[in-house]
Structure 1
Amino acid sequence: MKVLILVVDDEPDVTELFRQQFRRDLRAGRFEMAFAHSAAEALERVEATNGPNLFLMVSDINMPGMTGLELLPLVRTARPDVPVIMITAYGDAETRAQAEAAGAVGLITKPIDFTVLKAEIEQRLAERAGTA
Protein backbone atom coordinates (compact mmCIF):
# COMPACT_ATOMS: atom_id res chain seq x y z
CA MET A 1 0.00 0.00 0.00
CA LYS A 2 1.28 3.44 -0.91
CA VAL A 3 1.91 5.91 1.86
CA LEU A 4 0.75 9.49 1.41
CA ILE A 5 2.20 12.70 2.77
CA LEU A 6 -0.19 15.66 2.70
CA VAL A 7 1.48 19.06 2.42
CA VAL A 8 -0.65 22.08 3.34
CA ASP A 9 0.50 25.57 2.34
CA ASP A 10 -1.28 28.48 0.68
CA GLU A 11 1.82 29.51 -1.29
CA PRO A 12 1.61 27.99 -4.80
CA ASP A 13 5.39 27.60 -5.23
CA VAL A 14 5.55 25.21 -2.25
CA THR A 15 4.12 22.38 -4.36
CA GLU A 16 6.95 22.58 -6.88
CA LEU A 17 9.56 23.05 -4.15
CA PHE A 18 8.46 19.85 -2.37
CA ARG A 19 8.26 17.93 -5.64
CA GLN A 20 11.84 18.98 -6.46
CA GLN A 21 13.19 18.16 -3.00
CA PHE A 22 11.56 14.72 -2.93
CA ARG A 23 11.73 13.83 -6.65
CA ARG A 24 13.90 10.73 -6.09
CA ASP A 25 11.60 9.37 -3.40
CA LEU A 26 8.53 10.10 -5.51
CA ARG A 27 10.02 8.46 -8.61
CA ALA A 28 11.09 5.44 -6.57
CA GLY A 29 7.55 5.11 -5.22
CA ARG A 30 8.64 5.31 -1.57
CA PHE A 31 5.67 7.56 -0.90
CA GLU A 32 3.25 9.88 -2.66
CA MET A 33 2.61 13.55 -1.93
CA ALA A 34 -0.67 15.41 -2.14
CA PHE A 35 -1.01 19.15 -1.78
CA ALA A 36 -3.72 21.30 -0.24
CA HIS A 37 -3.62 25.07 -0.62
CA SER A 38 -5.86 25.88 2.35
CA ALA A 39 -6.69 24.41 5.72
CA ALA A 40 -10.27 23.75 4.59
CA GLU A 41 -9.04 21.80 1.54
CA ALA A 42 -6.64 19.85 3.77
CA LEU A 43 -9.41 18.93 6.20
CA GLU A 44 -11.56 17.66 3.31
CA ARG A 45 -8.66 15.50 2.08
CA VAL A 46 -7.94 14.15 5.56
CA GLU A 47 -11.57 13.22 6.10
CA ALA A 48 -11.81 11.63 2.61
CA THR A 49 -8.59 9.60 2.95
CA ASN A 50 -9.49 6.37 4.70
CA GLY A 51 -7.10 3.76 5.96
CA PRO A 52 -3.44 3.78 6.84
CA ASN A 53 -2.23 5.29 3.54
CA LEU A 54 -2.31 8.86 4.98
CA PHE A 55 1.03 8.66 6.71
CA LEU A 56 2.01 12.22 7.61
CA MET A 57 0.77 15.79 7.27
CA VAL A 58 3.09 18.78 6.96
CA SER A 59 1.27 22.09 7.39
CA ASP A 60 2.12 25.76 7.33
CA ILE A 61 0.82 27.67 10.33
CA ASN A 62 0.18 31.09 8.79
CA MET A 63 -2.56 30.75 6.15
CA PRO A 64 -5.55 32.95 5.32
CA GLY A 65 -8.87 31.83 6.73
CA MET A 66 -8.26 28.87 9.00
CA THR A 67 -4.66 28.78 10.26
CA GLY A 68 -2.57 25.66 10.61
CA LEU A 69 -2.93 25.88 14.39
CA GLU A 70 -6.73 25.91 14.01
CA LEU A 71 -6.54 23.00 11.55
CA LEU A 72 -4.30 20.88 13.76
CA PRO A 73 -6.82 19.81 16.46
CA LEU A 74 -9.41 19.05 13.76
CA VAL A 75 -6.96 16.74 12.00
CA ARG A 76 -5.93 15.14 15.29
CA THR A 77 -9.61 14.45 16.03
CA ALA A 78 -10.38 13.08 12.56
CA ARG A 79 -7.15 11.07 12.24
CA PRO A 80 -5.35 10.68 15.59
CA ASP A 81 -3.04 8.13 13.92
CA VAL A 82 -1.58 10.72 11.53
CA PRO A 83 1.36 12.74 12.88
CA VAL A 84 1.46 16.42 11.93
CA ILE A 85 4.57 18.55 11.49
CA MET A 86 4.00 22.29 11.47
CA ILE A 87 6.00 24.78 9.40
CA THR A 88 6.34 28.41 10.40
CA ALA A 89 8.34 31.52 9.69
CA TYR A 90 8.22 32.19 13.43
CA GLY A 91 10.14 29.56 15.37
CA ASP A 92 9.76 31.28 18.74
CA ALA A 93 9.08 29.38 21.95
CA GLU A 94 5.44 30.50 22.13
CA THR A 95 4.64 29.23 18.62
CA ARG A 96 6.43 25.95 19.35
CA ALA A 97 4.47 25.54 22.60
CA GLN A 98 1.15 26.26 20.84
CA ALA A 99 1.90 23.74 18.11
CA GLU A 100 2.93 21.03 20.57
CA ALA A 101 -0.06 21.71 22.83
CA ALA A 102 -2.37 21.29 19.81
CA GLY A 103 -0.77 17.93 18.98
CA ALA A 104 2.02 18.63 16.49
CA VAL A 105 4.89 16.15 16.56
CA GLY A 106 7.36 18.73 15.31
CA LEU A 107 7.90 22.31 14.21
CA ILE A 108 10.18 23.32 11.35
CA THR A 109 11.01 26.95 10.67
CA LYS A 110 11.17 28.60 7.25
CA PRO A 111 13.14 28.55 5.14
CA ILE A 112 12.54 24.81 5.37
CA ASP A 113 15.61 22.75 6.15
CA PHE A 114 14.79 19.80 3.92
CA THR A 115 17.57 17.75 5.49
CA VAL A 116 15.70 17.92 8.81
CA LEU A 117 12.35 17.18 7.16
CA LYS A 118 13.78 14.25 5.19
CA ALA A 119 15.29 12.81 8.38
CA GLU A 120 11.90 13.10 10.10
CA ILE A 121 10.20 11.31 7.21
CA GLU A 122 12.87 8.58 7.17
CA GLN A 123 12.40 8.01 10.90
CA ARG A 124 8.64 7.72 10.49
CA LEU A 125 9.00 5.34 7.51
CA ALA A 126 11.35 3.17 9.57
CA GLU A 127 8.91 3.15 12.50
CA ARG A 128 6.11 2.18 10.14
CA ALA A 129 8.17 -0.64 8.63
CA GLY A 130 9.02 -1.90 12.11
CA THR A 131 5.38 -2.08 13.13
CA ALA A 132 4.09 -3.54 9.87
Structure 2
Amino acid sequence: MTLGILVVDDEPDIEDLFRQRFRAELRRGELAIHFATSAEEALTKLNSGLQPEAVLVLSDINMPGMNGLDFLGHLRTNLPQVPVVMVTAYGDTENRRRALDIGATDLVTKPVDFNVLKKLVNTVIEQKSAA
Protein backbone atom coordinates (compact mmCIF):
# COMPACT_ATOMS: atom_id res chain seq x y z
CA MET A 1 0.00 0.00 0.00
CA THR A 2 1.32 3.43 -0.95
CA LEU A 3 0.83 6.18 1.63
CA GLY A 4 0.48 9.81 0.60
CA ILE A 5 2.27 12.75 2.18
CA LEU A 6 1.51 16.36 1.27
CA VAL A 7 4.43 18.78 1.67
CA VAL A 8 3.46 22.46 1.75
CA ASP A 9 6.35 24.91 1.42
CA ASP A 10 7.02 27.97 -0.74
CA GLU A 11 10.75 27.25 -1.12
CA PRO A 12 11.44 26.15 -4.71
CA ASP A 13 14.05 23.50 -3.86
CA ILE A 14 11.92 21.63 -1.31
CA GLU A 15 10.47 19.18 -3.83
CA ASP A 16 13.90 18.08 -5.08
CA LEU A 17 15.20 17.80 -1.51
CA PHE A 18 12.29 15.62 -0.31
CA ARG A 19 12.41 13.42 -3.43
CA GLN A 20 16.13 12.89 -2.85
CA ARG A 21 15.84 12.16 0.88
CA PHE A 22 12.87 9.79 0.48
CA ARG A 23 14.20 8.24 -2.75
CA ALA A 24 14.27 4.65 -1.42
CA GLU A 25 10.73 4.83 -0.01
CA LEU A 26 9.45 6.37 -3.25
CA ARG A 27 11.21 3.75 -5.36
CA ARG A 28 9.78 0.91 -3.25
CA GLY A 29 6.29 2.40 -3.67
CA GLU A 30 5.85 2.90 0.07
CA LEU A 31 5.26 6.64 -0.24
CA ALA A 32 3.85 9.11 -2.72
CA ILE A 33 4.78 12.71 -1.98
CA HIS A 34 2.53 15.51 -3.20
CA PHE A 35 3.74 19.10 -3.17
CA ALA A 36 2.07 22.48 -2.85
CA THR A 37 3.83 25.86 -2.83
CA SER A 38 1.13 27.59 -0.76
CA ALA A 39 -1.56 26.78 1.76
CA GLU A 40 -4.19 27.78 -0.79
CA GLU A 41 -2.79 25.33 -3.36
CA ALA A 42 -2.64 22.62 -0.69
CA LEU A 43 -6.32 23.14 0.18
CA THR A 44 -7.25 22.92 -3.50
CA LYS A 45 -5.30 19.67 -3.84
CA LEU A 46 -6.80 18.20 -0.67
CA ASN A 47 -10.32 19.13 -1.77
CA SER A 48 -9.82 17.68 -5.26
CA GLY A 49 -8.82 14.28 -3.88
CA LEU A 50 -5.13 13.42 -3.97
CA GLN A 51 -4.27 9.88 -5.03
CA PRO A 52 -3.15 8.28 -2.90
CA GLU A 53 -4.85 10.45 -0.35
CA ALA A 54 -2.69 12.35 2.12
CA VAL A 55 -2.35 10.52 5.41
CA LEU A 56 0.15 13.11 6.66
CA VAL A 57 0.74 16.80 5.95
CA LEU A 58 4.12 18.50 6.45
CA SER A 59 3.68 22.28 6.33
CA ASP A 60 5.96 25.28 6.60
CA ILE A 61 4.74 28.04 8.93
CA ASN A 62 6.02 31.16 7.14
CA MET A 63 4.50 31.35 3.66
CA PRO A 64 3.03 34.20 1.64
CA GLY A 65 -0.76 34.39 1.68
CA MET A 66 -2.24 32.03 4.24
CA ASN A 67 0.46 31.11 6.76
CA GLY A 68 1.00 27.59 8.03
CA LEU A 69 -0.72 28.14 11.38
CA ASP A 70 -3.89 29.41 9.67
CA PHE A 71 -3.66 26.44 7.28
CA LEU A 72 -3.31 24.12 10.28
CA GLY A 73 -6.42 25.64 11.86
CA HIS A 74 -8.35 25.04 8.65
CA LEU A 75 -7.18 21.41 8.52
CA ARG A 76 -8.12 20.80 12.15
CA THR A 77 -11.64 22.04 11.38
CA ASN A 78 -12.12 20.23 8.06
CA LEU A 79 -9.76 17.22 8.18
CA PRO A 80 -9.20 16.53 11.88
CA GLN A 81 -8.06 12.95 11.23
CA VAL A 82 -5.01 13.99 9.15
CA PRO A 83 -1.84 14.44 11.24
CA VAL A 84 0.05 17.67 10.54
CA VAL A 85 3.73 18.25 11.28
CA MET A 86 4.84 21.87 11.08
CA VAL A 87 8.27 22.52 9.55
CA THR A 88 9.79 25.91 10.26
CA ALA A 89 12.99 27.90 10.44
CA TYR A 90 11.60 29.41 13.64
CA GLY A 91 11.56 26.66 16.25
CA ASP A 92 11.11 29.03 19.15
CA THR A 93 8.93 28.15 22.10
CA GLU A 94 6.08 30.45 21.02
CA ASN A 95 5.74 28.91 17.53
CA ARG A 96 5.91 25.42 19.03
CA ARG A 97 3.26 26.22 21.62
CA ARG A 98 0.94 27.86 19.07
CA ALA A 99 1.31 24.99 16.58
CA LEU A 100 0.64 22.34 19.23
CA ASP A 101 -2.28 24.34 20.69
CA ILE A 102 -3.90 24.53 17.25
CA GLY A 103 -3.45 20.78 16.79
CA ALA A 104 -0.10 20.04 15.16
CA THR A 105 1.19 16.52 15.74
CA ASP A 106 4.73 17.88 16.08
CA LEU A 107 7.05 20.65 14.93
CA VAL A 108 10.48 20.24 13.33
CA THR A 109 12.96 22.99 12.60
CA LYS A 110 14.92 23.83 9.46
CA PRO A 111 17.40 22.81 8.34
CA VAL A 112 15.49 19.56 8.57
CA ASP A 113 17.30 16.56 10.01
CA PHE A 114 15.87 13.96 7.63
CA ASN A 115 16.79 11.05 9.89
CA VAL A 116 14.61 12.58 12.62
CA LEU A 117 11.89 13.46 10.09
CA LYS A 118 11.83 9.91 8.67
CA LYS A 119 11.42 8.47 12.17
CA LEU A 120 8.61 10.93 12.85
CA VAL A 121 6.92 10.13 9.51
CA ASN A 122 7.18 6.40 10.23
CA THR A 123 5.74 6.85 13.73
CA VAL A 124 2.79 8.90 12.44
CA ILE A 125 2.12 6.42 9.64
CA GLU A 126 2.31 3.46 12.06
CA GLN A 127 -0.16 5.17 14.40
CA LYS A 128 -2.44 5.95 11.47
CA SER A 129 -2.27 2.34 10.21
CA ALA A 130 -3.02 0.95 13.70
CA ALA A 131 -6.12 3.14 14.13
Q: Please report the TM-score for the alignment, with normalisation by the length of structure 1.
A: 0.92
- Which letter does structure 1 place at the counterpart of 2:127? E
| Matched residue, 1:3 | 3
The structure-2 alpha-carbon separation of the partners of 1:102 and 1:29, relative to structure 1 and needing over 3 Å to count, comes to: same
Using the aligned pairs only, state the percent identity. Answer: 50
1:119 aligns with 2:119: yes
Q: Is the 8 A contact 1:47 1:78 kept in 2?
A: no
User: What do the CA deviations read for 1:37-71 (whole angstroms, capped 9, x no partner)?
Assistant: 01100111122227983210000000011100111
Structure 1 residue runs of 5 or longer lacking an equivalent are: none
Q: Shift in Å at residue 129 of structure 1? A: 3.5
User: Moved runs in structure 1, 4+ residues, more than 6 A?
Assistant: none
The equivalent of 2:86 in structure 1 is: 86
TM-score, reference length from structure 2? 0.93
Instruction: Spell out, residue by residue over 1:86-130, the C-alpha distance to the aligned partner (whole angstroms, 9 max, x if none).
Output: 011111110101101111010000000111110011112322343
Q: Which runs of 5+ in 2 are unaligned?
A: none
Tell me the distance in 1 between the aligned counterparts of 2:14 and 2:22.
Answer: 12
Matching residue of 2:27 = 27
Q: Calculate the aligned-residue CA RMSD, in Å.
A: 1.7
User: Using the alignment, how far apart are the partners of 2:122 and 2:39 within structure 1?
Assistant: 25
Q: Please tell me whether the aligned partners of residues 59 and 84 of structure 1 are also in contact (alpha carbons under 8 angstroms).
A: yes
CA deviations 1:16-55 (Å, max 9, x no partner) are 0000000000000111000000110011112222798321
Report the equivalent of 1:49: 49
SS at match of 2:15: helix
